[in-house]
Amino acid sequence: MPTDARVIAILEELPDLADAGEQDGRRWFARWNEGAVRLLDDQLSEVNGRALALTDEVRVRAASALDRLVLTAGGDTVLVGDDTVTVTGLSIDAAAFVGDLVVATAPGDDGGHRVLLLDHATGALLDEQAVDADDAMAVVHRHPIDPVAVIELAMGQDGCLALRVDVDVDASSPAGAQLRLTEILSGHDPVIAGFRAAGDRLLMAPYPSDPETARVFAWPSLDEVGQVSAADIDAEYGFGLAACWVDDDRAALVAPEDALVLTGSALDSAVRVDLSQMLGDDAEIESLTPLAPGRIAAGVWAPDGRSTRVIEFAAPRD
């Protein structure tokens, strides 16, 4: 497997990027900056913006280009489409579009977590289920093809819970839509690193309490397709939380204080990628985000500050 890689752009730190869907085979991203939702392309260049009269701690939680947006502003949730609807007092912490509806999560009053199904057009709460996940940090991963999502709820020393979310919709009465939650990958403390673009595999990084092995599973069967252990590449500190698909044939993992690791789609043929000259010897990769086939974004910490590096990999050879 070739390991040629190069940094093609060095950008300011870009935290809180939201998935904004795909158009013409290209991924889009959205973030809030200076009074507007900014639409970014698959090189993280700004291509458009939508100004909104919001001021208090605004964050984009989900987007479909700039046509449909889910934001939080202060303690409220703001749904933007043809009209803008504010759900006062509802402060969600993660969201994704599933079809025309919004699957969102929010901390519960009892310390657990709420999984919510919202009508994006009206803000109506169509269904809600409580999950026993105290003080969790939530992430919602949208399936790239099917109207399904996976929720990851990380609970610190109590491990990590993953849920498959299906939305059952009655065509004759959309207001009767319901959530169907199914726990997946029980016993793994799964850190979900996302679906590959074909939608048929799910990448999982290890939880920090046991960083030895990363795994990939077939979707939707969740049969294990492959794994890679830290011993396979002599990674002293195991694997970190950062991982992503590079394209349908490759995945990227991080061995903290050591290396970026490139693997095949079954986590086979793992090799180290030398980026020290481009990132610096003291730099650490904190996050990985897939952009376009062969291109990823790395959130990088260095002694002089944080930045985002766009990394491009050579095309795989037979």
Please report the pLDDT score of residue 139 as a whole number. 97
User: Largest alpha-carbon pair distance within the chain?
Assistant: 60
Dihedral over Cα of 245, 247, 253, 254: its sign? negative
Quick one: tokens of 33? 């900056």
Please report the pLDDT score of residue 188 as a whole number. 94
* DSSP secondary structure letters along 165-234: EEEE--TT-GGG-EEEEEEESTTS--EEEEE-TTSSEEEEEPPTTSTTEEEEEETTT--EEEEEEGGGGT
Please report the pLDDT score of residue 56 as a whole number. 82
Query: Which amino acid makes up residue 237?
Result: Y
Parallel, antiparallel, or unpaired for β 76-80 and 84-87? antiparallel
Q: Comparing C-alpha atoms, which of 99, 54, 44 is closest to residue 79?
A: 54
Which backbone phi and psi does 175 adopt, to 5 degrees?
A: -65, -15
Q: What is the pLDDT of residues 123-143, one digit of tens each?
A: 999 999 999 998 899 999 999
Q: How far is CA 247 from CA 96, 241, 252, 270, 280, in A?
A: 22, 19, 10, 15, 25
Please report the pLDDT score of residue 2 as a whole number. 55
Quick one: tokens of 55? 């001021």
Q: Comparing C-alpha atoms, which of 24, 56, 51 is closest to residue 38?
A: 51
Please report the pLDDT score of residue 288 as a whole number. 97
Q: Comparing C-alpha atoms, which of 29, 18, 42, 45 is closest to residue 295?
A: 42
**Rama region for 95: left / alpha / beta (φ>0; ψ in -120 to 50; rest):** beta
Residues 6+ apart with CB under 8 A from 7: 275, 278, 279, 309, 310, 311, 312
Contact 168, 178 (CB under 8 A): yes
Contact 70, 60 (CB under 8 A): yes
Q: Comparing C-alpha atoms, which of 90, 71, 92, 93 is closest to residue 80?
A: 71
Q: Which residues pair with 182 in a beta bridge?
A: 164
Tokens 């048929």, residue located: 200
Q: Comparing C-alpha atoms, which of 27, 105, 101, 119 is closest to residue 61?
A: 105
What pTM was computed for the model? 0.94
Residues in the chain with pLDDT < 50? none
